[in-house]
Amino acid sequence: MNRREFARLLAIGGAVPFVTPELTWARSAKLPPTPASPDEKFWMSVRDQFVMPKELTMLNAANLCPSSAPVLDTLYKTTRDMDQDPSMENRAKLGEGRENTRRLLAEFLRVTPEEIVITRNTSESNNLVSTGLDLKPGDEVLLTADNHPSNHTAWQQKAKRFGFTVIDVPVPNPHPGFDYYVDAFTKAITPRTKVISFTHQTSTVGDLFPAKDICRLARERGILTLVDGAQSFGLFDVDLSDIQPDFYSGSAHKWPCGPKENGVLYINKSAQSKIWASIFSAYPGRVGVSRTFEGFGQRDEPAMIAFGEALKLQTQIGRANIERRSRELTTGLIEGLKKIDGVKIWTSPEPSRRAAVLSFQPGSLDVRTLSAALYKNDHLGCATRGGQDRPGLRFSPHFYNTHADVEKAIAAVKKYMAAGV
């Protein structure tokens, strides 16, 4: 199938057969050193590190981020090296590369390599916790009502199997403030509470939770904490030595812009004796908890090594800069959207209670039709939320986005709100 046929199929909305992508991508210019105050020109050069065509605006970091060219290069070169010579002798260096990624992850999260398990994604990390803890009838697990299924359905299913009880702390909209949550958890804790599990930033409307305060509250009462970091890892300059959870999870393919099917589970040294590994096989990690928790059999070590490359790029740009930039773009989107008649924004208007996930209802427009139109006509990718619970579109900008993307998104929503889809 040639490009023209491919484009025609896309235009008529037909099923597009899988075609092996071309293996060439534009070599990106080297990223210049990060200036003391990064300007738009610098962020444009960050954008150039990604292989997305210039006209494509992706506002869907909360779902899946593109890998940068350095990550793709590492992934391809390392995979090719392995497949050119798959002998044990040639592959020995890959194990060292995997341990290097563990060290980079530990530095990134400000903990020790002995506390890091390289998993496949947040879902796996969360489930390793809910399956691995010894919970029994009479025990209680406190959750926030707005969690991803890997941190909600997973606990409910395991409660059915092992007989413990799951209790949801309500999550009102709009965000009621951090004190509300500290108070709500304080009141919900009972002598039977064994675990508190919540999402650092929700994927639905981008509510932020006071992770450090909730973890402190739990620690003082001998309760374990799992912080689902799918929407904070690679976006915030997360410092686990400050937050001090027992467990923290994240995915490489989201905000870190790493390869797919790589993730992290942090297991605090103090919690390691309280959790069982769920999978036992060959090829575990070499240090600390990875020796018992990371024996998942044969892994994609080139991808694990490319994960490290993603962390290096973020560190080079500056993680505080990345968080600031993503927040600034989100604020720009909110400011523009709130001027459009009929748009209802679900995300908190208070900047400290939100970060880079923004959800809104575009009047009575059908969100799936709108999202399809945005992609087809405006080359803009985002996520939709159906159903009755805060339905609408979700924009989640990241450090590869520019102010031009923000303006384009606002103009496009305005156009469809005025003229229909």
Judged by the rule CB under 6 A, the positions of this chain that interact with ligand PLP are 121-123, 148, 150-151, 199, 203, 228, 230-231, 251
Measured from the CB of residue 230, what is the shortest distance to ligand PLP in angstroms?
A: 3
Length of the chain: 421
Measured from the CB of residue 33, what is the shortest distance to ligand PLP in angstroms?
A: 32
Which tokens in the block code for residue 398? 């990241």
Choice between 125 and 321, CB closer to ligand PLP: 125
Measured from the CB of residue 35, what is the shortest distance to ligand PLP in angstroms?
A: 32
Is 317 within 8 Å of 399 (Cβ atoms)?
yes
Give the dihedral sign, CA 247/290/156/204: positive
Q: What is the largest CA-CA distance in the chain?
A: 66
Measured from the CB of residue 108, what is the shortest distance to ligand PLP in angstroms?
A: 17
Measured from the CB of residue 39, what is the shortest distance to ligand PLP in angstroms?
A: 31
Choice between 28 and 67, CB closer to ligand PLP: 67
| One-letter amino acid for residue 113 of the chain | P
Angle, CA of 275, 277 and 279, to the nearest 5°: 160
Q: Among 63, 109, 211, which residue's Cα sits nearest to residue 117?
A: 109
Beta bridge partners of 249: 228, 265
Count each helix (H run) and each strand (E run) in the chain, helices first. 14, 13
Alpha-carbon distance of 290 to 173, in angstroms, equals 39
Measured from the CB of residue 347, what is the shortest distance to ligand PLP in angstroms?
A: 15
Cis peptide bond N-terminal to 391, omega within 30: no
Choice between 264 and 410, CB closer to ligand PLP: 264
Choice between 28 and 199, CB closer to ligand PLP: 199
Measured from the CB of residue 153, what is the shortest distance to ligand PLP in angstroms?
A: 11
**How many CB atoms within 10 Å of residue 151?**
25
Angle, CA of 46, 50 and 51, to the nearest 5°: 150
Choice between 203 and 402, CB closer to ligand PLP: 203
Choice between 148 and 353, CB closer to ligand PLP: 148
Choice between 330 and 402, CB closer to ligand PLP: 330
| One-letter amino acid for residue 393 of the chain | L
